[in-house]
């Protein structure tokens, strides 16, 4: 069952002012770190917690921080990825609205650990309300001496700034985000070099997701062993899940890693709509392979179980669909999204997403051929792992899993 352990503000969903955050112990972790935790030790603490990136990739956070080169010549930047463009994902928006000070404290802790003095919060262009909440929290923090110069009188200087994007899905990819932040077209960069070495303005840069950074204050306050004990040995801690679709109580839930998926769906979310049966679950946002009801019944919400089931935890966007859903129509809808959002830089993605979109339109429109199904799978094979960023892989996830697991529905459209 879901418990709001690391993100208690999300349970009440009230606007969190600085006073309320301070009453709940806010900024104590920052004071604790500035009083006696050296930057290298703070990085080691986060590494020991096993915290993995909560934006989708699941890369170990402390390890990412340790990739920064040992140099003094160039400034180091911290960037918070608050773009959250993955369909079905809305948990970061709740943090920006209801727990902005927890994010700010997490970013200041990260700045202390990596030696950054400037940080940017890159917020998706449509999130006007969320951006206003963060700006208000930043102003409160500056007014209280918690942001800017000589924070808490400890001689620590760090400032944070909001930068609005323009709503491009591809700018959720960290190097496309950097290009956008620099005022250029949001196109992914080839890697290496990785942002930790050559990032924003050509300087070493750490990019973390909103939930990742906001999880750091409770880890510092309670210790890495506490955080490890909340989840599984290989997937420590808790995770926020955005549950949408045909459940009685959709919303954002915080679960311990390793929680059975069906406990979340049938318990916290109240189960399926009356008289309906579960048909499909997409456990990590629209880009990950979908699961049948039988597969979902044995899935646990952690990285290892998702891998064993041939899918991914991704951003934690759990899309639950009942037996009224047509899988070809679902895949067509997602195919249109990815064809529209492809930046066009890579030929396999630019052409492949359009081909898949046209074929899916043809199938759903009753003009398809039996050979179209194998053609779709062949296009997936030639798009996956052949692009600069993961958008091409994302576009093939619903197509490949949909055609493979629900082929009979596509064949019925052909007939």
- DSSP for 397-411, written as a single string: HHHHHHHHHSHHHHH
Average pLDDT for 34-53: 95
Residue 137 lies in a domain: yes
Kindly report the average pLDDT of the chain as a whole number. 95
Q: How confident is the model at residue 71 (pLDDT cuts 50, 70, 90)?
A: confident
pLDDT value, residue 245:
96
Give me the long-range contacts of 144-148 (CB less than 8 A, separation at least 24).
144/18, 146/27, 146/30, 146/104, 146/108, 147/104, 147/108
d(CA 139, CA 232): 38
Backbone torsions φ then ψ of 155, nearest 5 degrees: 75, 15
Q: Into how many domains does the chain fold? A: 3
pLDDT value, residue 16:
78
| DSSP-assigned beta bridge partners for residue 253 | 241
Above 80 in pLDDT, residue 145?
yes
Residue 128 lies in a domain: yes
Both 269 and 338 in one domain: the answer is no
Both 175 and 222 in one domain: the answer is yes
Residue 3 lies in a domain: no
Structure tokens at 350: 């630019």
Both 63 and 180 in one domain: the answer is yes
d(CA 400, CA 384): 11
pLDDT value, residue 56:
84
Both 116 and 150 in one domain: the answer is yes
> What is the 8-class DSSP label of residue 75?
-
Residue 4 lies in a domain: no
Both 88 and 197 in one domain: the answer is yes
Residue 80 lies in a domain: yes
Q: How confident is the model at residue 57 (pLDDT cuts 50, 70, 90)?
A: confident
Both 20 and 106 in one domain: the answer is yes
Both 218 and 278 in one domain: the answer is no
Q: What is the CATH number of the domain that holds 375?
A: 1.20.1440.230
Q: Model pTM greater than 0.75? A: yes
Answer with the one of 305, 322, 339 that is the final residue of a domain: 322
pLDDT value, residue 328:
97
Both 173 and 259 in one domain: the answer is no
Answer with the one of 172, 207, 228 that is the final residue of a domain: 228
Q: What is the pLDDT of residues 328-366, one digit of tens each?
A: 999 999 999 999 999 999 999 999 999 999 999 999 999
Above 90 in pLDDT, residue 15?
no
Residue 281 lies in a domain: yes
Both 273 and 206 in one domain: the answer is no
Q: What is the CATH number of the domain that holds 193?
A: 3.40.50.11540
For residue 193, cis peptide bond before it (omega within 30 degrees of 0) = yes
Q: What is the CATH number of the domain that holds 246?
A: 3.10.20.600
Q: Are 95 and 127 spatial neighbours (Cβ–Cβ below 8 Å)?
A: no
**Sequence-ordered list of residues with C-beta below 8 angstroms from that of 111, at least 6 positions apart, any chain:** 78, 117, 119, 158
Average pLDDT for 300-315: 94
Average pLDDT for 120-136: 96
* C-alpha distances in Å from residue 299, one per residue of 58, 198, 257, 318, 326: 18, 39, 12, 12, 23
Sign of CA dihedral 310, 316, 319, 320: positive
Both 87 and 207 in one domain: the answer is yes
Both 331 and 304 in one domain: the answer is no
Q: What is the pLDDT of residues 387-403, one digit of tens each?
A: 999 999 999 999 999 99
Q: Are 165 and 83 spatial neighbours (Cβ–Cβ below 8 Å)?
A: yes
CB half-sphere exposure, 228, CA atoms < 13 A:
11
Residue 233 lies in a domain: no
pLDDT value, residue 1:
64
Average pLDDT for 272-283: 96
Both 354 and 408 in one domain: the answer is yes
State the helix-helix crossing angle for 391-405 and 327-341, rounded to 10 degrees.
170
Answer with the one of 278, 305, 322 that is the final residue of a domain: 322
pLDDT value, residue 294:
96
Average pLDDT for 374-379: 96
Domain hosting residue 41, numbered range: 9-228
Residue 82 lies in a domain: yes
């Amino acid at each position: 069952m879901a418990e709001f352990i690391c993100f208690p503000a999300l349970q009440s969903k009230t606007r969190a002012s600085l006073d309320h955050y301070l009453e709940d112990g806010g900024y104590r972790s920052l004071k604790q770190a500035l009083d006696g935790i050296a930057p290298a030790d703070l990085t080691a603490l986060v590494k020991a917690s096993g915290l993995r990136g909560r934006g989708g990739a699941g890369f170990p956070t402390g390890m990412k921080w340790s990739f920064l080169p040992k140099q003094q010549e160039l400034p180091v930047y911290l960037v918070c990825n608050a773009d959250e463009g993955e369909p079905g994902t809305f948990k970061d928006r709740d943090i920006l609205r209801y727990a902005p000070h927890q994010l700010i404290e997490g970013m200041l802790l990260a700045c202390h650990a990596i030696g950054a003095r400037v940080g940017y919060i890159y917020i998706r262009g449509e999130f006007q309300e969320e951006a206003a909440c963060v700006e208000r929290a930043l102003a409160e923090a500056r007014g209280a001496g918690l942001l800017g110069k000589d924070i808490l009188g400890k001689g620590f200087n760090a400032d944070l700034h909001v930068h609005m994007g323009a709503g491009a899905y591809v700018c959720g990819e960290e190097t496309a985000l950097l290009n956008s932040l620099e005022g250029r077209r949001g196109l992914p960069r080839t890697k290496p070099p990785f942002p930790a070495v050559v990032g924003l303005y050509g300087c070493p840069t750490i990019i973390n997701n909103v939930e990742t950074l906001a999880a750091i204050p409770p880890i510092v306050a309670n210790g890495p062993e506490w955080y490890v004990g909340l989840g599984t040995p290989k997937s420590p801690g808790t995770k926020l899940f955005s549950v949408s679709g045909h459940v009685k109580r959709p919303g954002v839930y915080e679960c311990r890693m390793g929680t059975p998926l069906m406990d979340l769906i049938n318990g916290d979310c109240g189960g399926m709509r009356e008289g309906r049966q579960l048909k499909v679950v997409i456990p990590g946002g629209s880009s990950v392979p979908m699961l049948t009801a039988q597969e979902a019944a044995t899935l646990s919400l952690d990285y290892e179980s998702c891998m064993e089931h041939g899918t991914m935890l991704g951003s934690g966007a759990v899309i639950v669909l009942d037996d009224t859903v047509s899988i070809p129509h679902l895949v067509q809808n997602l195919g249109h999204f990815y064809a529209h959002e492809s930046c066009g830089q890579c030929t396999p993605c630019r052409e492949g997403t359009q081909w898949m979109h046209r074929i899916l339109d043809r199938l759903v429109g009753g003009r398809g051929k039996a050979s179209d199904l194998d053609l779709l799978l062949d296009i997936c094979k030639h798009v996956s792992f052949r692009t600069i960023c993961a958008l091409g892989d994302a576009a093939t996830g619903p197509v490949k899993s949909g055609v493979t697991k629900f082929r009979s529905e596509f064949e019925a459209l052909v007939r």
